[in-house]
Structure 1
């Protein structure tokens, strides 16, 4: 059945008109790869956003951004501590191991798919410092988490300080980083403070085909550039990716889009009551709904993913139709 009202994923959302305009404006002869004027502006643009120097590479997918970051931080014989429900564990088809040439994901627990210093320590402490055990080399967190839960600046600072004390750099999977910052109302840096690398999401937030790989340790970018080429992600017309990233930063479009998506999610969450499985802090809503109730919602034209037994995931986007959002809220309230 065709479901006219889309709450399946923010990946299904349209490209923002200002992104399209930026792509059109970039459609002129320019030096190839990342030697064009737009690509050369990324470091300064993101440096201004985060208030500190950084080096930024464009890539086409979130998987590539995450895994190139991890491959830069972690040797093939090393390990990455992440939540057992993190995207890099559950939804990237073995790409972390492929890009790192064998590094292992070391799985930790935590409510709401969030890590804490204690849950990271529970993974690290039993590891003997000898060649028979995979040694940790990095920590990866997701901001916002796989259940739409947000790390506060204090939580982020606590994890970064703990990881630094163990000599581990932190990578932040920021596929929905904009939604987290919009919810927190903090500065972008406070939402990822202490990170060595950040995957800055654009595609889910109005972009078409670009994600930003941000290194706050600029020296790491020198290695990542070689890895990007070897992985097939050095696009010859890279200016089109750079154009999207610059456009979404201009005038804080990234925050404007995220706020719209978050507001739509809050409208739906406001009627869900005890059905909510997690607090709604970004643009994802997880509900307890029976099989019959899911069928009833789909029969009314709503699309969404089933999420385990008796649960559904609903995702709003920058352009969620207010009429559709209101209709879904009414439908959930009347179940």
Structure 2
């Protein structure tokens, strides 16, 4: 029972079927094929406007290249201090930005607020010695499983316009956030001021497919060249595009995200009923962050349940993890089985009962 992440499982059947079909015969290389043309047109439909789309193989490539198009080498990109771009990508964004910096700010649940970002920007000295802010990057879903609602996104978008910042969204779990909010892709992005998006597919059913979606045309001008220099213009590009074709067909991507989110709610509700268990943050997408007794943590691990411990850095005010407690992350995916969720809950209940009897 593996709840370590949503990128530990393979591709979903419709994606694999589309790949198998695309594998037959010869097609133009380097994205010049008909499948890629269809997929790029589909992105236009999804976002209700013409967009520039650059297909890449990893989320790190999508984030690093997206930010490199928005931030010059002397510039600053503001993000949360636990954001994936600053904490989990081995300096790739700074590398591809050719020396630009990421500035990590605090925020409960790994989310930024317009008020907090504004205060930080106002406090920056205006001198050549200080790198000027050029972009804001947020994770949707955040690293603590929280979703920015449309009002929060609009406030951040308005702030970016006020300060002349490019607004980047790391959408590794884009579909999970989308179904959580019940809105359209357009409403969650450019209609709230997002300029450039890292559109994730790998965590939600693709084998290895991500996209950079650009809403502000000038940010797209250099991305073909940047992608080539980064080794992300793939000769058999149709095999990336085909994954998205299977992913989007019949709204399969929505179905996958709804499944993962539903099971996360089921697991979250079940754990929350147990004595000594509380949620560090509300379950809003496909990740659950419970604070559990150490004995329950031990029982789950001994039963073969796989998951990661999590950082306490962005806990709400007044919340702490005690010496006999553990804060853990459990991630649900499109491939998670409901029976495995019930098995985890049964193990947790048994551990709770044993502890109560001692």
TM-score of the superposition, structure 1-length normalised?
0.96
Aligned match of 2:281 in 273, 278, 282? 278
Tell me, in whole angstroms, the C-alpha distance in 1 between the residues paired with 2:271 and 2:247: 32
Counterpart of 2:58? 61
Counterpart of 2:300? 297
Tell me, in whole angstroms, the C-alpha distance in 2 between the residues paired with 1:290 and 1:84: 28
Counterpart of 2:4? 8
Matched, 1:34 2:31: yes
Q: Is the 8 A contact 1:19 1:248 kept in 2?
A: yes
Counterpart of 2:244? 245
Matched, 1:147 2:163: no
Alignment partner of 2:198: what SS? strand
Alignment size in residue pairs: 331
Offset of 1:16 from its aligned partner?
0.3
Residues 11-55 of structure 1 deviation map (CA, whole Å, 9 limit, x = unaligned): 012210000011111112111111111122233211111111101
Residues 145-191 of structure 1 deviation map (CA, whole Å, 9 limit, x = unaligned): 01110011111111101111111110000000100011111111222
Show structure 1 runs of 5+ residues with no match.
none
Counterpart of 1:307? 310
Aligned match of 1:122 in 119, 142, 147? 119
- How do residues 79-228 of structure 1 correspond to structure 2 at under 5 angstroms? 79-192=76-189, 193-228=192-227
Alignment partner of 1:155: what SS? helix
Q: Is the 8 A contact 1:144 1:174 kept in 2?
A: yes
Alignment partner of 1:173: what SS? strand
Aligned match of 1:317 in 327, 333, 340? 333
Tell me, in whole angstroms, the C-alpha distance in 1 between the residues paired with 2:50 and 2:151: 22
- Choose 188-197 or 148-157, whichever is displaced more: 188-197
Alignment partner of 2:153: what SS? helix
Q: Is the 8 A contact 1:196 1:217 kept in 2?
A: yes
Counterpart of 2:314? none
- Deviant stretches of 4+, over 4 Å: none
Aligned match of 1:51 in 37, 48, 52? 48
Alignment partner of 1:139: what SS? strand
Tell me, in whole angstroms, the C-alpha distance in 1 between the residues paired with 2:167 and 2:271: 35
Show structure 2 runs of 5+ residues with no match.
312-320, 353-358
Counterpart of 1:268? 267
Tell me, in whole angstroms, the C-alpha distance in 1 between the residues paired with 2:70 and 2:327: 36
TM-score of the superposition, structure 2-length normalised?
0.90
Offset of 1:287 from its aligned partner?
1.3
Tell me, in whole angstroms, the C-alpha distance in 2 between the residues paired with 1:219 and 1:47: 17
Offset of 1:332 from its aligned partner?
2.8
Counterpart of 1:257? 256
Tell me, in whole angstroms, the C-alpha distance in 2 between the residues paired with 1:332 and 1:275: 13
**In angstroms, what is the RMSD of aligned CA positions?**
1.3
